[in-house]
Structure 1
Amino acid sequence: MKSLNILIVEGNIREDSEFFIKAAGASAADNLKNLILKLEPSTNTNIINPGHDDETADALNNMDKYNGIVFTGGAMRINDMTDVIKKHIKFASDCFEYKNKILAICWGLQVCSTAAGGKVNPGKNGAHIGIASDVIINNKGMSHFIYKDKKNIFTSPAFNFDEVSELPKNAILLSSDKVNNVMGIKFKAGNSEIIGLQYHPDYEYFQMLKLIAGRKERLFKNKNFSSENDYQNHISYIESENELLNFNDRTCEVRNWLNYLKN
């Protein structure tokens, strides 16, 4: 087939994007774009921000040209329900009216789940601070293309304080861990197929470490760490996992999704 055309939906407002660029080297959308181009160099990408009405209107008017849509991660929290967050949810809902194949990562999963009738709340068992350990793919997940060539139990970059607490109608759970029951799901909404991941195949651990460092004061204020020793032990753990992670293992889901778009 011809080169893929992918719409990338930025998950951050400008201020948060500036933090991501400073800490992780790229905005959430550009970071995802860079990964897609490593995996499929001929891909055409277009980045929009749902907070900008002109960009969403243009994307919806040209929706038939895209082979797939990616909703990226971001720093907002659904239950704050600001006007900007409402625009993110509305755009996802509008996308569902078209025959789209959607990959929704972290914040993107929470936005798409909410738009499809699910619920998002603060994680009952805590947060993923830079890493998700021992994510278990269930039987449904093992038979789904998104986890082709993925280890049945894996550890991944992740950063989230909230979780999908109630699945959208007819959603199928694909993976879980001890922090969030919903780590991977698939569901249909309107005319669209959505695959959601509550972790980051698009980020590396060194980026997560920089994001953690930039949020250190807030993490202590929110009591995500009980002491400096607790914090340093967590940093050391992520550094040790960084030695074990390779590109193909980390990015497996994005590669599988792009291959799916080509079929």
Structure 2
Amino acid sequence: MAPLRLLVVEGNVRAARERHRATYGLTPSESYAAVLRRFVPEAVCDVAFPADEGANLPDSAGLADYDGVVITGSALNVWKAEPESMRQVELAREVYRSGTPFFGSCWGLQVATVAAGGSVRANPRGREVAIARDIRLTEAGVAHPLYQGKAPVFASPCVHGDEVEALPAHAVVLAANAVSDVQAVDISHEGGTFWGIQYHPEFSLNELSVILRRYKPTLMSEGFFRDPAVLDRWLEDLEALVADSRRTDIAWRYGIGPDILDPAVRLREIENFVEHRVKAVRAARGRG
């Protein structure tokens, strides 16, 4: 049997993804591909760079050759309608038309929403950063295969300042919290189905702490911290917990539980996408 073929769509422009590689060791798309291989080690993961002008991108026929498509997060804002963003929206429309199982985190959810006719805005409630807390499944979410085996209320890594403003037709909200009314969604559009989440389960605490250290100026300017020394101690605590997950004193102090620290819990949505969409549709297409 041929291995699964997955396409990881990198949401960032070159400078942003190379900045992530310089601080973390991998680009966001490389990191996401590593997470996917956790569940299908033999998978072939190609990467697309639609933010790059002149990128060679597959059409719906080419996308149909893949078993799944995943969009990463991004530092872009889709509501600005910049060319780097709109190329990704057009690619998302092609993914819908291909019928290939489609998934995205944060930026991926926003791009897929706009591609299907919805809209995204800067969140008037402000940025949600570090940990999205008290994400609560809707009635539809409790029954949805994306959340099979997931607690009805949980926390997850996150970094986002934008949110879904208006849902497209044929969209079902699966989860929400006090910061974002759409923390997860199922969208059906032009023969395709997208499962998306506004948070970032693909971020380990290690990757998250690296990102947050880059966000120090933002965390100060937006009022999350008023004292740089307090911010530095918080980052040092997170890094100490990365180094030793048995530091229950740090985990307790910041309310960081198994839904962040245990990969089997944190990554459940991605695992469910692979099991209930990617593998199921592959079998229905007669590929395995």
Fold-level similarity (TM above 0.5): yes
**1:205–1:242 Cα contact (<8 Å) kept:** no
Q: CA deviation at 1:22?
A: 2.3
SS for the counterpart of 2:163 is: strand
Question: Does the alignment pair 1:262 with 2:279?
Answer: yes
- Could you tell me the percent identity over the aligned residues? 24
Q: CA deviation at 1:11?
A: 0.6
2:189 corresponds to which letter in structure 1?
A: A
SS for the counterpart of 1:210 is: helix
CA distance in 1: counterparts of 2:77 and 2:227, whole angstroms: 25
Provide the residue aligned with 1:55 in structure 2.
Answer: 56
Deviations 1:201-253 (A, max 9, x none): 11112211211111211332344444437746865589625563201001101
**1:24–1:208 Cα contact (<8 Å) kept:** no
1:4-15 alignment runs, 5 A limit: 4-15=4-15
**2:95–2:102 Cα contact (<8 Å) kept:** no
Provide the residue aligned with 1:36 in structure 2.
Answer: 36
From the superposition, tell whether residues 182 and 230 of structure 1 become closer, same or farther in structure 2 (CA, over 3 Å): farther
Question: Does the alignment pair 1:212 with 2:212?
Answer: yes
TM-score by length of 2: 0.84
Question: Does the alignment pair 1:250 with 2:266?
Answer: yes
SS for the counterpart of 1:19 is: helix
Q: CA deviation at 1:68?
A: 1.0
**1:100–1:191 Cα contact (<8 Å) kept:** no
From the superposition, tell whether residues 212 and 20 of structure 1 become closer, same or farther in structure 2 (CA, over 3 Å): same
From the superposition, tell whether residues 2 and 104 of structure 1 become closer, same or farther in structure 2 (CA, over 3 Å): same
CA distance in 2: counterparts of 1:102 and 1:234, whole angstroms: 36
**2:10–2:28 Cα contact (<8 Å) kept:** yes
TM-score by length of 1: 0.92
1:48 corresponds to which letter in structure 2?
A: A
Which deviates the most, 21-30 or 167-176? 21-30
From the superposition, tell whether residues 210 and 54 of structure 1 become closer, same or farther in structure 2 (CA, over 3 Å): closer
**2:123–2:163 Cα contact (<8 Å) kept:** yes
Q: CA deviation at 1:128?
A: 1.6
Which deviates the most, 236-245 or 104-113? 236-245
Which consecutive aligned stretches of 4+ in structure 1 deviate over 6 angstroms post-superposition? none
CA distance in 2: counterparts of 1:152 and 1:113, whole angstroms: 24
Provide the residue aligned with 1:169 in structure 2.
Answer: 169
From the superposition, tell whether residues 225 and 115 of structure 1 become closer, same or farther in structure 2 (CA, over 3 Å): farther
SS for the counterpart of 1:29 is: helix
